[in-house]
Amino acid sequence: MKNKANTKGRIMLFCARFVAYFVLIFLSALCLFSFYMLIINASRSNAELQAGFAGWFSTHFIDNLTNAWNDASINIPRGMLNSFMIAAACSILTTYFSALTAYGIHVYDFKLKKPAFYFIMAVMMIPPQVSAVGFVHLCNTLKLTNNYLPLIVPSIAAPVVFFYMKQYLESVLPMEMVEAARIDGSGEFRTFNQIVLPIMKPAIAVQMIFSFVGSWNNYFIPALLLDKAELKTVPIMIAQLRSADYSKFDMGKVYMFIFLAILPVIVVYIILSRSIIRGATAGAVKG
């Protein structure tokens, strides 16, 4: 009897695995295909790109790489460094302060708790396009152009990230732990930094990835605020290649740069996605 159930279980498991691998491989193929198209295009010359799409690599990968690298109007390493500084700062600030805010609203009871929560939820609904131009105007008035502060500091107040942290705390944080820490004489900030933050590691890693990518790919606001060559970020430089004049216009360089721009983000993603898993193990030990 038990044996039979076991066999049945094994067959079920086999089927489940089969389905899982099938779905994963299918979706991965779709995703890799878009990436593949990009690499193909990065290996083709401007004339070949104009000739339409091709299914296989061409021979201009190295040409495009050196042309993009040597293009006098842009400085790729500088752009990557600039983008990295902004994106790293944003992702650290946004996750820390969102977690802090979420913790504040989740754990403490105070008069304005509900209004504060509903306020943040409400502002999440306002499309970002609405405040973009006003924000740029504000920065112009405050003489904050050609400065990274207006690109970094606002990330402290990210309603979407806050909402995630709040929901995450709701699902993982036992109040007893906070109480226990207090009995042990831990201060409120210490409790947050040393007990709560480690529990939230998976959530923090996830949102760090998202905000890093969001900031890395952000074009419109940085383009309106920065115009000094040494301060420009990757998306601005890509747009610059795209608005090159006819004698210098080269889509091969554009695709190459788009391709190059993805590589650092993949590294960041792989590093951070490890802590999603590590966080879980820590959770298991804690339990």
Residues between 42 and 81 with contacts to another protein, criterion CB under 8 A: 46-47, 50-55, 72-73
Q: For tokens 């904050």, what's the residue?
A: 144
Separation between Cα atoms, residue 211 and residue 89, nearest integer Å? 10
Among 69, 157, 186, 195, binds another protein (CB under 8 A): 157
Contact pattern for another protein over residues 110 through 129, marking x by CB under 8 A: xxxx--x---xxxxxxxxxx
Q: Which amino acid is at 280?
A: A
- What are the φ/ψ torsions at residue 157 (nearest 5 degrees)? -110, 85
Q: For tokens 């210490």, what's the residue?
A: 190
Specify burial of residue 48 (Cβ count, 10 A radius: 0-12, 13-18, 19+): middle
Assess 1 for contact with another protein (CB under 8 A): no
Contact pattern for another protein over residues 190 through 229, marking x by CB under 8 A: --xx---x-x--xx-xx--xx--x---x-xx--xx--xxx
Among 68, 76, 80, 100, binds another protein (CB under 8 A): 100
Among 6, 66, 179, 180, binds another protein (CB under 8 A): 179
**Quick check: 265 and 212 in contact, CB under 8 A?**
yes
Assess 146 for contact with another protein (CB under 8 A): yes
Q: How many of the chain's residues bind another protein (CB under 8 A)? A: 145
Among 83, 162, 233, 260, binds another protein (CB under 8 A): 162
Residue 62 or 122: which CB sits closer to another protein? 122
Separation between Cα atoms, residue 148 and residue 154, nearest integer Å? 11
Assess 39 for contact with another protein (CB under 8 A): no
Least distance to another protein, CB of residue 80, Å: 14
